[in-house]
Amino acid sequence: MEQKKQKQKLKRKRRNKISHNTAYKTKLYLTKTTILKTPAVKILKENRLGINLAGLKLPNPTMLASGILGYTKETFKNIADGGAGAIVTKSVGLKPRSGYANPTVTQTSCGLINAMGLPNPGIEEFAKEISEAKRVLNVPLIVSVYGFAAEEYATVAKKAVTAGADAVELNVSCPHVKETGSEIGQKPEILKEVVKNVKSAVQKPVFVKLSPNVTSIAETAEAAVNAGADAITAINTVKAMAIDTETAKPILSNKMGGLSGPAIKPIALRCVYEIYEKVKVPIIGCGGITNWRDAAEFLLAGASAVQIGTAIATKGPNMFKAITRGIDAYLKRKGFRSVNEIVGLSHKS
Protein backbone atom coordinates (compact mmCIF):
# COMPACT_ATOMS: atom_id res chain seq x y z
CA MET A 1 0.00 0.00 0.00
CA GLU A 2 2.77 2.35 1.04
CA GLN A 3 4.70 1.35 -2.09
CA LYS A 4 1.67 2.17 -4.31
CA LYS A 5 1.38 5.61 -2.66
CA GLN A 6 5.06 6.28 -3.24
CA LYS A 7 4.72 5.30 -6.92
CA GLN A 8 1.73 7.64 -7.41
CA LYS A 9 3.57 10.50 -5.70
CA LEU A 10 6.54 10.00 -7.99
CA LYS A 11 4.29 9.92 -11.04
CA ARG A 12 2.58 13.15 -9.95
CA LYS A 13 5.91 14.82 -9.33
CA ARG A 14 7.17 13.81 -12.79
CA ARG A 15 3.94 15.01 -14.45
CA ASN A 16 4.16 18.34 -12.59
CA LYS A 17 7.75 18.72 -13.61
CA ILE A 18 6.92 18.08 -17.26
CA SER A 19 3.97 20.43 -17.24
CA HIS A 20 6.06 23.05 -15.46
CA ASN A 21 8.79 22.71 -18.10
CA THR A 22 6.25 22.83 -20.90
CA ALA A 23 4.57 25.83 -19.34
CA TYR A 24 7.90 27.49 -18.85
CA LYS A 25 8.87 26.87 -22.46
CA THR A 26 5.47 28.02 -23.70
CA LYS A 27 5.71 31.13 -21.56
CA LEU A 28 9.15 31.80 -22.90
CA TYR A 29 7.91 31.26 -26.42
CA LEU A 30 4.94 33.56 -25.84
CA THR A 31 7.20 36.13 -24.25
CA LYS A 32 9.55 35.97 -27.19
CA THR A 33 6.81 36.38 -29.77
CA THR A 34 5.14 39.11 -27.77
CA ILE A 35 8.44 40.89 -27.35
CA LEU A 36 9.11 40.72 -31.06
CA LYS A 37 5.74 42.28 -31.75
CA THR A 38 6.39 45.18 -29.38
CA PRO A 39 7.86 48.09 -31.41
CA ALA A 40 10.17 49.21 -28.61
CA VAL A 41 11.80 45.83 -28.26
CA LYS A 42 11.79 45.29 -31.99
CA ILE A 43 14.16 48.26 -32.23
CA LEU A 44 16.35 46.74 -29.53
CA LYS A 45 16.47 43.53 -31.55
CA GLU A 46 17.46 45.61 -34.56
CA ASN A 47 20.40 47.97 -34.76
CA ARG A 48 20.02 51.09 -32.61
CA LEU A 49 22.61 52.75 -34.81
CA GLY A 50 21.34 51.89 -38.29
CA ILE A 51 20.26 54.87 -40.40
CA ASN A 52 18.67 55.62 -43.74
CA LEU A 53 20.67 58.44 -45.30
CA ALA A 54 18.80 59.90 -48.29
CA GLY A 55 17.88 56.35 -49.30
CA LEU A 56 21.20 54.70 -48.41
CA LYS A 57 21.16 52.13 -45.61
CA LEU A 58 24.09 52.55 -43.22
CA PRO A 59 24.74 50.12 -40.34
CA ASN A 60 25.93 53.07 -38.24
CA PRO A 61 26.21 56.86 -38.73
CA THR A 62 30.00 57.04 -39.21
CA MET A 63 31.53 57.56 -42.65
CA LEU A 64 35.01 57.94 -44.07
CA ALA A 65 35.47 61.57 -45.19
CA SER A 66 36.68 62.24 -48.71
CA GLY A 67 40.40 62.61 -49.19
CA ILE A 68 41.54 60.10 -46.57
CA LEU A 69 42.80 56.72 -47.83
CA GLY A 70 40.21 56.95 -50.56
CA TYR A 71 41.65 55.48 -53.78
CA THR A 72 41.90 51.70 -53.78
CA LYS A 73 39.50 48.86 -53.10
CA GLU A 74 41.96 47.47 -50.54
CA THR A 75 41.87 50.64 -48.44
CA PHE A 76 38.07 50.88 -48.81
CA LYS A 77 37.79 47.32 -47.50
CA ASN A 78 40.17 48.09 -44.65
CA ILE A 79 38.05 51.10 -43.69
CA ALA A 80 34.80 49.09 -43.86
CA ASP A 81 36.40 46.37 -41.69
CA GLY A 82 37.33 49.14 -39.24
CA GLY A 83 33.60 49.75 -38.80
CA ALA A 84 32.74 52.66 -41.13
CA GLY A 85 29.05 52.83 -42.03
CA ALA A 86 29.88 54.23 -45.49
CA ILE A 87 32.89 55.32 -47.50
CA VAL A 88 33.51 58.51 -49.46
CA THR A 89 36.35 58.33 -51.99
CA LYS A 90 38.99 60.95 -52.72
CA SER A 91 37.65 63.46 -55.26
CA VAL A 92 37.86 62.32 -58.86
CA GLY A 93 37.65 64.42 -62.01
CA LEU A 94 37.28 63.89 -65.72
CA LYS A 95 41.00 63.66 -66.48
CA PRO A 96 43.99 62.37 -64.51
CA ARG A 97 45.67 65.05 -62.40
CA SER A 98 49.00 64.83 -60.63
CA GLY A 99 48.28 67.54 -58.06
CA TYR A 100 50.77 69.95 -56.48
CA ALA A 101 54.44 69.35 -55.78
CA ASN A 102 55.51 68.43 -52.23
CA PRO A 103 55.13 69.47 -49.46
CA THR A 104 51.39 68.94 -49.67
CA VAL A 105 50.62 68.34 -45.98
CA THR A 106 51.88 69.98 -42.80
CA GLN A 107 51.04 69.32 -39.17
CA THR A 108 50.16 72.22 -36.88
CA SER A 109 49.51 72.27 -33.14
CA CYS A 110 45.77 71.97 -33.78
CA GLY A 111 45.37 69.89 -36.96
CA LEU A 112 46.63 69.25 -40.47
CA ILE A 113 46.87 71.69 -43.35
CA ASN A 114 46.77 70.01 -46.73
CA ALA A 115 46.95 71.20 -50.30
CA MET A 116 47.33 68.18 -52.54
CA GLY A 117 45.77 69.80 -55.58
CA LEU A 118 43.11 67.13 -56.26
CA PRO A 119 45.48 64.42 -57.51
CA ASN A 120 43.50 61.53 -59.04
CA PRO A 121 43.69 58.98 -61.83
CA GLY A 122 40.66 60.37 -63.71
CA ILE A 123 37.23 58.78 -63.78
CA GLU A 124 37.95 56.29 -66.62
CA GLU A 125 40.68 54.61 -64.58
CA PHE A 126 38.91 55.07 -61.25
CA ALA A 127 35.71 53.46 -62.58
CA LYS A 128 37.49 50.06 -62.50
CA GLU A 129 38.37 50.59 -58.83
CA ILE A 130 34.74 51.52 -58.07
CA SER A 131 33.32 48.36 -59.65
CA GLU A 132 35.90 46.13 -57.98
CA ALA A 133 35.35 47.83 -54.62
CA LYS A 134 31.59 47.28 -54.92
CA ARG A 135 32.20 43.54 -55.13
CA VAL A 136 33.95 43.42 -51.75
CA LEU A 137 32.17 46.15 -49.78
CA ASN A 138 29.11 45.66 -47.60
CA VAL A 139 28.60 49.39 -46.91
CA PRO A 140 27.64 52.17 -49.36
CA LEU A 141 30.39 53.65 -51.55
CA ILE A 142 30.00 57.35 -52.28
CA VAL A 143 32.21 58.83 -54.98
CA SER A 144 33.43 62.40 -54.46
CA VAL A 145 33.34 64.31 -57.74
CA TYR A 146 34.82 67.62 -58.90
CA GLY A 147 34.82 69.42 -62.25
CA PHE A 148 35.65 72.72 -63.91
CA ALA A 149 32.13 73.20 -65.31
CA ALA A 150 28.62 71.96 -64.54
CA GLU A 151 28.67 69.50 -67.47
CA GLU A 152 31.98 68.09 -66.31
CA TYR A 153 30.61 67.38 -62.81
CA ALA A 154 27.63 65.65 -64.46
CA THR A 155 29.79 63.52 -66.79
CA VAL A 156 32.04 62.35 -63.96
CA ALA A 157 29.06 61.67 -61.66
CA LYS A 158 27.34 59.62 -64.37
CA LYS A 159 30.45 57.51 -65.00
CA ALA A 160 30.88 56.95 -61.26
CA VAL A 161 27.27 55.79 -60.88
CA THR A 162 27.52 53.57 -63.97
CA ALA A 163 30.58 51.94 -62.37
CA GLY A 164 28.54 51.20 -59.23
CA ALA A 165 28.70 54.23 -56.92
CA ASP A 166 25.77 54.24 -54.47
CA ALA A 167 25.78 58.06 -54.39
CA VAL A 168 27.97 60.98 -55.38
CA GLU A 169 29.26 63.81 -53.22
CA LEU A 170 29.98 67.02 -55.11
CA ASN A 171 33.18 68.74 -54.06
CA VAL A 172 32.22 72.39 -54.39
CA SER A 173 34.41 73.30 -51.43
CA CYS A 174 38.10 72.55 -52.00
CA PRO A 175 39.59 75.85 -50.77
CA HIS A 176 42.61 76.18 -53.06
CA VAL A 177 42.26 74.70 -56.57
CA LYS A 178 41.38 77.37 -59.12
CA GLU A 179 38.09 77.28 -61.06
CA THR A 180 36.62 74.37 -59.09
CA GLY A 181 35.75 73.52 -55.49
CA SER A 182 34.90 76.55 -53.38
CA GLU A 183 35.17 78.84 -56.42
CA ILE A 184 31.95 77.08 -57.48
CA GLY A 185 30.40 76.58 -54.06
CA GLN A 186 30.83 80.24 -53.14
CA LYS A 187 28.64 81.36 -56.08
CA PRO A 188 25.05 80.21 -55.51
CA GLU A 189 24.01 80.54 -59.18
CA ILE A 190 26.89 78.40 -60.45
CA LEU A 191 26.40 75.99 -57.56
CA LYS A 192 22.75 75.52 -58.54
CA GLU A 193 23.70 74.88 -62.15
CA VAL A 194 26.18 72.18 -61.08
CA VAL A 195 23.67 70.45 -58.80
CA LYS A 196 20.89 70.57 -61.42
CA ASN A 197 23.17 69.12 -64.11
CA VAL A 198 24.29 66.27 -61.87
CA LYS A 199 20.75 65.57 -60.68
CA SER A 200 19.52 65.17 -64.22
CA ALA A 201 22.48 62.89 -65.10
CA VAL A 202 22.19 60.35 -62.26
CA GLN A 203 19.46 58.38 -60.52
CA LYS A 204 21.36 58.05 -57.25
CA PRO A 205 21.48 60.40 -54.24
CA VAL A 206 23.52 63.56 -54.73
CA PHE A 207 25.30 64.95 -51.66
CA VAL A 208 26.84 68.43 -51.76
CA LYS A 209 29.92 69.14 -49.63
CA LEU A 210 30.07 72.78 -48.62
CA SER A 211 32.83 75.18 -47.70
CA PRO A 212 32.80 77.12 -44.42
CA ASN A 213 34.62 79.92 -46.26
CA VAL A 214 31.38 81.79 -47.11
CA THR A 215 29.29 84.52 -45.51
CA SER A 216 26.29 82.25 -44.84
CA ILE A 217 26.69 78.49 -45.16
CA ALA A 218 22.97 78.03 -44.42
CA GLU A 219 22.08 80.10 -47.49
CA THR A 220 24.56 78.15 -49.61
CA ALA A 221 22.97 74.92 -48.36
CA GLU A 222 19.52 76.27 -49.22
CA ALA A 223 20.67 77.05 -52.77
CA ALA A 224 22.01 73.49 -53.16
CA VAL A 225 18.80 71.97 -51.80
CA ASN A 226 16.62 74.14 -54.04
CA ALA A 227 18.62 72.80 -56.99
CA GLY A 228 17.91 69.20 -55.88
CA ALA A 229 20.65 68.18 -53.42
CA ASP A 230 19.59 65.07 -51.47
CA ALA A 231 21.94 65.75 -48.55
CA ILE A 232 24.45 68.35 -47.42
CA THR A 233 27.92 67.54 -46.11
CA ALA A 234 29.32 70.26 -43.85
CA ILE A 235 32.15 71.14 -43.83
CA ASN A 236 35.24 70.90 -46.03
CA THR A 237 38.51 72.32 -44.71
CA VAL A 238 39.07 75.92 -43.63
CA LYS A 239 41.47 77.91 -45.84
CA ALA A 240 44.75 78.20 -43.95
CA MET A 241 48.53 78.38 -44.17
CA ALA A 242 51.75 77.78 -42.25
CA ILE A 243 55.11 79.56 -42.53
CA ASP A 244 58.56 78.14 -41.84
CA THR A 245 60.34 80.66 -39.62
CA GLU A 246 63.82 79.43 -40.65
CA THR A 247 63.32 79.79 -44.40
CA ALA A 248 60.77 82.59 -43.97
CA LYS A 249 58.64 80.87 -46.63
CA PRO A 250 55.18 79.26 -46.71
CA ILE A 251 55.56 75.53 -45.92
CA LEU A 252 53.15 74.14 -48.51
CA SER A 253 54.20 74.32 -52.13
CA ASN A 254 50.79 75.82 -52.93
CA LYS A 255 51.21 78.26 -50.03
CA MET A 256 47.51 78.01 -49.08
CA GLY A 257 45.81 74.81 -48.00
CA GLY A 258 42.86 73.54 -45.98
CA LEU A 259 42.92 73.10 -42.18
CA SER A 260 41.29 69.97 -40.76
CA GLY A 261 41.25 68.35 -37.31
CA PRO A 262 40.15 69.43 -33.81
CA ALA A 263 40.65 73.18 -34.46
CA ILE A 264 37.77 73.27 -36.94
CA LYS A 265 35.27 71.21 -34.92
CA PRO A 266 33.50 74.17 -33.29
CA ILE A 267 33.25 75.89 -36.69
CA ALA A 268 31.84 72.76 -38.33
CA LEU A 269 29.39 72.27 -35.48
CA ARG A 270 28.11 75.85 -35.82
CA CYS A 271 27.69 75.30 -39.58
CA VAL A 272 25.66 72.11 -39.08
CA TYR A 273 23.49 73.85 -36.47
CA GLU A 274 22.77 76.76 -38.85
CA ILE A 275 22.09 74.51 -41.85
CA TYR A 276 19.68 72.36 -39.80
CA GLU A 277 17.55 75.45 -39.14
CA LYS A 278 17.36 76.23 -42.87
CA VAL A 279 16.96 72.97 -44.85
CA LYS A 280 15.02 69.73 -44.52
CA VAL A 281 17.40 67.25 -46.18
CA PRO A 282 19.83 65.15 -44.10
CA ILE A 283 23.09 66.80 -43.05
CA ILE A 284 26.37 64.95 -42.76
CA GLY A 285 28.62 66.59 -40.18
CA CYS A 286 32.34 66.69 -40.87
CA GLY A 287 35.24 68.50 -39.23
CA GLY A 288 37.55 67.54 -36.39
CA ILE A 289 35.65 64.57 -35.00
CA THR A 290 38.04 62.52 -32.90
CA ASN A 291 35.83 60.67 -30.41
CA TRP A 292 32.22 59.58 -29.78
CA ARG A 293 31.39 62.75 -27.85
CA ASP A 294 32.37 64.92 -30.83
CA ALA A 295 30.19 62.72 -33.04
CA ALA A 296 27.26 62.97 -30.61
CA GLU A 297 27.58 66.77 -30.59
CA PHE A 298 27.18 66.81 -34.38
CA LEU A 299 24.12 64.56 -34.18
CA LEU A 300 22.57 66.81 -31.54
CA ALA A 301 23.33 69.84 -33.75
CA GLY A 302 21.36 68.27 -36.59
CA ALA A 303 23.64 65.88 -38.46
CA SER A 304 22.15 62.50 -39.41
CA ALA A 305 25.62 61.05 -39.94
CA VAL A 306 29.22 62.10 -39.41
CA GLN A 307 32.31 61.90 -41.58
CA ILE A 308 35.70 61.31 -40.02
CA GLY A 309 38.95 62.15 -41.79
CA THR A 310 41.97 63.48 -39.95
CA ALA A 311 41.43 61.19 -36.93
CA ILE A 312 41.43 58.16 -39.25
CA ALA A 313 44.60 59.35 -40.94
CA THR A 314 46.35 59.80 -37.60
CA LYS A 315 44.83 57.02 -35.46
CA GLY A 316 43.74 54.35 -37.96
CA PRO A 317 40.44 52.81 -39.10
CA ASN A 318 39.51 51.23 -35.77
CA MET A 319 38.41 54.71 -34.70
CA PHE A 320 35.10 53.95 -36.42
CA LYS A 321 34.36 51.06 -34.06
CA ALA A 322 35.44 53.08 -31.02
CA ILE A 323 33.20 56.03 -31.99
CA THR A 324 30.24 53.79 -32.85
CA ARG A 325 30.54 51.92 -29.55
CA GLY A 326 30.66 55.23 -27.69
CA ILE A 327 27.53 56.56 -29.43
CA ASP A 328 25.72 53.29 -28.74
CA ALA A 329 26.59 53.41 -25.03
CA TYR A 330 25.45 57.05 -24.90
CA LEU A 331 22.09 56.22 -26.51
CA LYS A 332 21.61 53.32 -24.11
CA ARG A 333 22.56 55.39 -21.07
CA LYS A 334 20.16 58.17 -22.08
CA GLY A 335 17.33 55.75 -22.92
CA PHE A 336 17.12 56.41 -26.67
CA ARG A 337 15.95 53.57 -28.88
CA SER A 338 17.46 54.87 -32.11
CA VAL A 339 20.20 57.29 -33.10
CA ASN A 340 17.59 59.16 -35.15
CA GLU A 341 15.98 60.32 -31.92
CA ILE A 342 18.91 62.59 -31.08
CA VAL A 343 19.34 64.22 -34.49
CA GLY A 344 18.80 67.98 -33.99
CA LEU A 345 17.85 67.52 -30.33
CA SER A 346 19.84 70.59 -29.24
CA HIS A 347 17.42 72.80 -31.22
CA LYS A 348 14.49 71.69 -29.07
CA SER A 349 15.72 73.10 -25.79
Q: Which residues bind ligand SIN (CB under 6 A)?
A: 67, 91, 114-118, 171, 174, 181, 236-237, 258
For residue 117, the minimal CB distance to ligand SIN (Å) is 5
Distance CA 62, CA 53 (A): 11
Nearer to ligand SIN, 69 or 331 (CB): 69
Contact (Cβ atoms closer than 8 angstroms) between residue 236 and residue 173: yes
Nearer to ligand SIN, 127 or 145 (CB): 145
Distance CA 65, CA 236 (A): 9
Nearer to ligand SIN, 61 or 117 (CB): 117
Overall size of the chain counted in residues:
349
Amino acid at 218: A
Torsion of CA 38, 140, 320, 231, to 10 degrees: -80
Phi first, then psi: give them for residue 298, nearest 5 degrees: -65, -40
Peptide bond connecting 235 to the previous residue in cis, omega within 30 degrees of 0: yes
Q: Which residue is nearest to ligand SIN (CB)?
A: 174
* Long-range CB pairs of 14-22, under 8 A, 24+ apart, other chains included: none
Nearer to ligand SIN, 97 or 324 (CB): 97
Nearer to ligand SIN, 144 or 324 (CB): 144
For residue 211, the minimal CB distance to ligand SIN (Å) is 9
For residue 141, the minimal CB distance to ligand SIN (Å) is 18
Contact (Cβ atoms closer than 8 angstroms) between residue 283 and residue 304: yes
Amino acid at 298: F
For residue 310, the minimal CB distance to ligand SIN (Å) is 12
Q: Helices marked H in the chain — which ranges?
A: 2-37, 39-45, 73-81, 123-136, 150-163, 182-185, 188-201, 217-226, 265-278, 292-301, 310-315, 319-334
For residue 192, the minimal CB distance to ligand SIN (Å) is 20
Axis-axis angle for helices 150-163, 188-201 (nearest 10): 30
Using a 10 angstrom Cβ sphere, with 0-12 exposed, 13-18 middle and 19 or more buried, the burial of residue 30 is: exposed
Nearer to ligand SIN, 173 or 324 (CB): 173
**Which residues sit opposite 166 in a β-bridge?**
none
Q: Helix, strand, or coil here: 107?
A: strand
For residue 258, the minimal CB distance to ligand SIN (Å) is 5
Nearer to ligand SIN, 204 or 209 (CB): 209
Distance CA 126, CA 90 (A): 10
For residue 66, the minimal CB distance to ligand SIN (Å) is 7
Distance CA 128, CA 73 (A): 10
Active site residue 110: no
Amino acid at 222: E
Nearest of 58, 63, 56 to residue 309 by alpha carbon: 63
The residues annotated as belonging to the active site are: 174
